[in-house]
Amino acid sequence: MSEFIVINSYNYDGETATIIFNPQGTDLVLNLGNHTLPFTFYPGLLVPPQQIYGYYTITTLYNNCTYYLNVPQPTPTPTPTVTPTKTQTPTPTVTPTVTPTLNPCNTPTPTKTPTPTKTPTRTPPPTPSPTKTPCFTQTPTPTKTPTPTPTPVYFAYLFIEPTTGSTLIGQWMFNGGSNFFGFTNTSQPTQNPSVFNLDMNRYVDFSGWTSGSFPTIIQQSVPQTTGGLDSFGNPIIAFNFLTTQVPQNYVGGNAWYTWIIPTILTNGQRQTIIDLNINNNPNLLTGVATEPTINGYTFTYTGSTILPNTYRVYTTFPNAIFEITDLQNIYFRGNTIAP
């Protein structure tokens, strides 16, 4: 008997849902029809036969709720890098950003007030008296207390790359000699550790993250202990970032969402699954597997956009699950870490 998969839902078992299947490694989009959950699917019975691996979109008919299921192959083959051909097209003129000059306060020089000269008064000679030798008192030298160096606070960072900014980020990466031009240009960081480090340092250094031309980076805390609920009522799990909201129209269109998290916050492990909801429900989250080839690399950031440290990159690229249009509030949450 061929392989099969059981598609079910804690909240919607017993309801009818439309199931769409995109087999991994293909451009096929197969409508499996309407089925009552749970549904046992035998992809080997399709014509032509398929494997169970791929991306499933499940939409319930009663309340039109959509959720997603990603079933990756156990040992994925590294995705070949899409290398755009560098053409001799005119480079767009970059309008320099005028950096405001910080004018220090002009502190007026204090005017010296002349000290009046005292006119000596004639005093009759004093009557001689025995001279007393004063006791010598030593003034204690104050001990300087060292100022403690503040401990840096690290976060998980959400970088949002809008499709409308693909030319800006692409030109920035190209000018730096990179073959990675941003996810909106259908490219990914080079699968070489040293070049990956250069690619991601260049990517994070892009001025658009802080100048306002791209959405502002969203940062989130990563708890180091388990216990309690976060502000959205979801369990707090050690080393997994808290539920994070991206407000409706934060981007105003389509964008790629990428998490960049320091390894010290994930206990040296990888954020292999991230929860997602794109329909304004922070408590109905679907676990999405991050791309294992990309999250298998680290880079040591040395710039100033975020705090310098060693980071990993979490995306679904080339799978477009993290390419989202913000029609409603979007929610992310760390789900699982693994070596």
Pairing mode of beta strands 323-325, 330-338: unpaired
Of the three residues 17, 37, 71, the one that is the final residue of a domain is 71
Q: Rounded to an integer, what distance in angstroms lies between the CA atom of residue 82 and that of residue 76?
A: 17
Of the three residues 51, 71, 91, the one that is the final residue of a domain is 71
pLDDT of residue 113: 41
- Tokens 């990603």 belong to 70
79 in a structural domain: no
247 in a structural domain: yes
Q: Rounded to an integer, what distance in angstroms lies between the CA atom of residue 313 and that of residue 190?
A: 13
310 in a structural domain: yes
Of the three residues 71, 95, 116, the one that is the final residue of a domain is 71
Q: In this structure, are 306 and 198 located in the same domain?
A: yes
- In this prediction, residues 71-88 reach a mean pLDDT of 57
pLDDT of residue 46: 81
SS3 153: coil
Report the run of H or E that residue 255 belongs to, with start and end.
Answer: strand 254-262
Task: Name the residue among 13, 72, 60, 9 with its Cα closest to residue 286.
Answer: 9
Q: In this structure, are 63 and 175 located in the same domain?
A: no
Which band of pLDDT confidence, cut at 50, 70 and 90, is reported for residue 47? confident
Q: In this structure, are 198 and 291 located in the same domain?
A: yes
Mean pLDDT, the chain, integer: 83
Q: In this structure, are 164 and 52 located in the same domain?
A: no
Domain count, the chain: 2
Which band of pLDDT confidence, cut at 50, 70 and 90, is reported for residue 143? low
- In this prediction, residues 138-147 reach a mean pLDDT of 59
- Per-residue pLDDT reduced to its tens digit, 212-267: 999 999 999 999 999 999 999 999 999 999 999 999 999 999 999 999 999 999 99
Give the CA-trace dihedral at 206, 212, 213, 217, to 10 degrees.
Answer: 60
Angle at the Cα of 161 (from 155 to 162), degrees rounded to 5?
A: 140
pLDDT of residue 68: 80
- In this prediction, residues 74-92 reach a mean pLDDT of 49
151 in a structural domain: no
Task: Evaluate if pTM is beyond 0.85.
Answer: no
Q: Rounded to an integer, what distance in angstroms lies between the CA atom of residue 70 and that of residue 316?
A: 10
Task: Name the residue among 78, 25, 20 with its Cα closest to residue 51.
Answer: 25
Q: In this structure, are 183 and 325 located in the same domain?
A: yes
44-47 contacts at long range (C-beta below 8 A, 24 or more positions apart): 44/2, 44/3, 45/2
pLDDT of residue 97: 36
- In this prediction, residues 70-89 reach a mean pLDDT of 57
118 in a structural domain: no
Q: Rounded to an integer, what distance in angstroms lies between the CA atom of residue 315 and that of residue 257?
A: 7
Residue pair 243/232 in contact (Cβ under 8 Å)? The answer is yes
Q: Which domain holds residue 245?
A: 156-338
240 in a structural domain: yes
- Give percent of the chain above pLDDT 70: 77
- Asked if residue 150 has pLDDT above 60, the reply is yes
Q: In this structure, are 164 and 31 located in the same domain?
A: no
User: Concatenated DSSP letters for 36-70?
Assistant: ESSEEE-GGGSSS---S-EEEEEEETTT--EEEEE
Which band of pLDDT confidence, cut at 50, 70 and 90, is reported for residue 135? very low
Q: Rounded to an integer, what distance in angstroms lies between the CA atom of residue 104 and that of residue 169?
A: 34
More confident of the two residues 188 and 65: 188
- In this prediction, residues 187-214 reach a mean pLDDT of 95
More confident of the two residues 110 and 214: 214
223 in a structural domain: yes
